[in-house]
Chain A
Amino acid sequence: MTVADRNAIAADPAASPPASPPVFAPVRLRFVANRRDYWRLMIRGNALQAVTLGLYRFWLFTDMRRSLWAGTELEDENFEYTGTALELLAGFMMALGVLIPVNMALLYAFLTSGTPTMSTVIFVVLYGFGQFAAYRARGYRLARTVLRGLRFHQTGSGIIFALRGILWWILIFCTVGLAVPFMAASQERYRMRHTFYGNVAGRFEGSGWRLFRRGILLWVVVIAPLLYSLEQARQSIDWSAIQSLLSSENLQTIISAVKQVKGVSKAGTPATAALVWSTFSGLVLFPAFLAIAMRWWLGGVRIGGAALASDLRKRDIYGAYVRFLLYLLVFSIAFCVIGGIVAIVIIGSVSSVINFSVASTARDAMLAIGVIVAYVVFILGCSTIYQVAVRFRIWQLAVDSLIVSGLAALENVHARPAKATAFGEGLADALGTGSL
């Protein structure tokens, strides 16, 4: 039954039954946002970001979320994002109030000790902050997500989530990445256990082992050769010789002498080859990894009796990336042609004032400004293309891949108060760990 049918019934009270018996077959979500509108939004937004040195981002992010949420449709009902840019700005200011003293303390600690241990401590502290921020930011977004007149919300503690993240990363480090699926499952279980739609709690039913089985081939292809070559290097190189070399003061003698140490040249070539292979295969296989991880993640989400399933296909994700590369190529060519013409016109029009064949401060300043402007325009253009061709497209693919069953469970949910400030959003923004 569509909304139009319902409205027809509603318009004629006699035909309306007291409670229409709903049909609860599995329902596919639909993505209905207009890509052309999104292009316009992103191009304008990124241009304004450049003009305002990034301060426009709070408004742009809010508009992006409003478009994406509104474009996500479940049974003729659209999600709604109710957050505002001013909330994000306020959250950012709050985050600065915390981060500035923390950064100053870390800088002081680093300047006065400067040991590798201190660097590790700083890294762990910042990682913990990032995890905390990501969790609290998720809470903010959920509390601003409305469906059928009810909010989502998140309970649980960002500190506990961050501590769990740190412990998991220690385990991942010790298992050279093999623990990643189990971390993903465990952390998602924590997140979803504390996620509510009104008074209905969510949970996560994806298993770490299943992701492990689906992803192990990628790990074998990308990571294993690197580990093998590093292990070979560890065995063949005479480490005591290198140890004694490092006690010397002169860096250049160290570098030239290291090459002479037994085993270095023998192990160096395979290690470099393995590194190149890992980087290359990692890039090529990343979309496959993304598809596997997203499908697994989406398919494990439950809200009360409602269950998600996803039939996201790897080739669609690859399609998004291939299209991105094509757009990038076209944009680069257009940028060079148009940029060249603009440069010639500008140089031609000021050549009566500035002699470009003689070095002068004015010429250098002109060139520097030109390079910076060109760089910013190019990078922002690439970023805009990425936001639409990859991020927007993957959102669309993910939404269109979703099938919800057991929707009956969401028919009579009761409201629960949802409170969350944008502090986490601000923190995530300042730390560069923010996301949509």
Chain B
Amino acid sequence: MSTTGPATFYDGLTSARHDATVELVDGTLRINAGDGRALTEWRCAEIAPVSTPDGVLRLGLPGFHSTARLEIHDKVLADAVVKAGRPCDRTGLTDHHTRLRVVGFSLLAVVVLIAAGIWGVPAIADKVTPLLPIALDVQMGDIFNAAFRQQLDGMKDAKTLECGSADTAQAAAAKAAFIKLVGVLTAAAGLPLPVEVVMVHVKDVNAVTLPGGHIYVYDGIPASAMRVDEMAGVIGHEMGHVDHRDGVKTQVQSGGMSVLFGLLLGDFTGGGAVVFTATKLLQNAYSRKAESAADLFGATLMAKIGGDPHALGEFLLRLSGSAAPQDHFLLDHPEAQIRAAAIDQVPQPSPMKALLTPDEWTALKGICTGD
């Protein structure tokens, strides 16, 4: 059976147009010039249609280097050629089958990347951070510290930022007690870099550690701590962040996350929100891990200096408002209970020592009230 019809042929060597006749014989396309001279022969099993608008069948040979093209406008001939060749979509667009495969592989890739985000990135950050020089912590700390101090300056509720800077005997005693407490903790902590612990006039029960050993304790801590061990536990916890170099580690982690999610995924309009949420959730998970590690460091440090390692847990529980687990569908604040339970695993030393004298503690408690 043979079908014959007119076509236009481009040989891929010059832009010249060849008016051709095409003969379809036994799965082979014989392409002849207008004068009957044979131009070439294509086997139907090899040819592939390339993208064209409706109503035209344009054929080529597969492979980047072949640009010879045959254009068939004759519908009968075009249908016959398509029937003889491989089943195909004339628009040349991504077909249904490929689309499904792409979606399948993409979902797999997304799962792998999320797994890499959950386990890979923190593992790499843990391995990489100790390899970075301490000088990096210090340099980063200087930059962060300058910016953070400016921010605190806007939040302070007294004339000066630092507590205990008034020129009174009360302030001097408070300052001395604070220096004594920090000194005891620092001596036992064996940190990789020198720390600077500062009490600041900011109304909040919080403490913050920046890279490079800058620790800020807000005035809500001494005000709401019931005994010195609770405040010492908080400072010990912050020293844990210094010991684990969490500031630098966070930067390494967020760098890894931005590669995984910023570069690889989410490059579509609106994708930024999905990526932002995923990154935030993962970073929360990382920071929970870092907090637990710092808790353990702080509690162990307390035990080492003869203080009560469980004081930090008690402090956290009291701040979270309730020691009883709540009967929600999902717990609202399970962190404090879980953290306190983990802290309680560190055995109390016996006998325990008083870290400060009662007078010193009274002075320290009022460190932020005298300015």
Contacts and interface: CB of A to CB of B under 8 A. Distances in A.
Most buried by B among A69, A96, A114, A377: A114
Interface stretch (A44-52, A213-221, A323-331, A332-340): A44-52
Interface stretch (A77-85, A169-177, A266-274, A293-301): A77-85
Contacts of B68: 149
A48 B99 contact: yes
Interface residues on A, range: 35 or more
B267 A249 contact: no
B120 to A, nearest CB: 14
B51 A96 contact: no
A414 B13 contact: yes
Contacts of A8: 6
A361 B11 contact: no
A80 B102 contact: no
B34 interface: yes
Contact of A80 (B54, B58, B151, B153): B58
Given A10-B34, A82-B50, A249-B153, A52 B103 contact: yes
Contacts, number: 237
A54 B266 contact: yes
A7 B149 contact: no
A401 interface: no
Interface stretch (B135-143, B193-201, B226-234, B351-359): B135-143
A415 B12 contact: yes
A103 interface: yes
Interface stretch (B17-25, B285-293, B342-350): B17-25
A100 interface: yes
Contacts of B98: 59
B14 A415 contact: yes
Most buried by B among A7, A252, A380, A430: A7
A325 to B, nearest CB: 17
Contacts of B54: 34
A113 B64 CA distance: 48
Q: Chain A's interface: helix, strand, loop or mixed, by majority?
A: helix
A375 interface: yes
Contacts of B102: 48, 52, 55-56, 59, 85
A148 interface: yes
B26 interface: no
Given A52-B110, A55-B106, A149-B68, A107 B271 contact: no
Contacts of B169: none
Given A368-B277, A411-B15, A32 B92 contact: no
A436 interface: no
A3 B136 CA distance: 70
B167 interface: no
A11 interface: yes
A41 B273 CA distance: 24
Interface in B64-116: 64, 67-69, 71, 73-74, 91-94, 98-99, 102-103, 106-107, 109-110
A315 to B, nearest CB: 27
B139 A9 contact: no
B16 interface: yes
A13 interface: yes
Contact of A11 (B21, B255, B264): B21
Interface string A333-366: 0000000000000000000011000011110010
B67 A151 contact: yes
A7 B8 contact: yes
A57 B94 CA distance: 12
Interface stretch (B306-314, B325-333, B361-369): B325-333
Nearest to A415: B13
A236 interface: no
Contacts of B140: 111-112
A70 interface: yes
B223 interface: no
A149 B15 contact: yes
B188 interface: no
Contacts of B50: 80, 82
Interface stretch (A60-68, A202-210, A237-245): A60-68
B14 A150 contact: yes
Given A10-B21, A52-B102, A78-B53, A57 B12 contact: no
B267 A104 contact: no
Contacts of B103: 48, 51-52, 56
A3 B73 contact: yes
A262 interface: no
A23 B109 CA distance: 55
Interface string A79-104: 01110010000000000100110011
Interface of B: 5-8, 10-17, 19-21, 34-36, 50-54, 56, 58, 64, 67-69, 71, 73-74, 91-94, 98-99, 102-103, 106-107, 109-110, 136, 139-140, 143, 149-151, 153-154, 251, 255, 258-259, 263-271, 273-275, 277, 328-332
- 5 smallest CB-CB distances across A and B, nearest first, come from A149-B10, A379-B270, A52-B106, A10-B19, A7-B6
Interface of A: 3-4, 6-11, 13, 16, 18, 20, 32-34, 37, 41, 46, 48-57, 59, 62-63, 66-67, 69-71, 73, 78, 80-82, 85, 96, 99-100, 103-104, 107-108, 111-114, 146-151, 197-198, 249-252, 353-354, 359-362, 365, 368, 372, 375-380, 382-383, 410-415, 429-430, 432
21 contacts: A7-B6, A9-B34, A10-B34, A46-B269, A49-B271, A56-B102, A63-B93, A67-B51, A70-B92, A71-B53, A111-B140, A146-B67, A150-B10, A150-B15, A249-B149, A249-B153, A252-B154, A365-B330, A411-B16, A430-B267, A432-B267
Given A149-B68, A362-B330, 17 more contacts: A6-B8, A7-B19, A11-B6, A55-B109, A62-B94, A66-B93, A80-B50, A99-B263, A103-B258, A103-B259, A146-B67, A148-B69, A250-B153, A250-B154, A252-B153, A379-B270, A380-B270
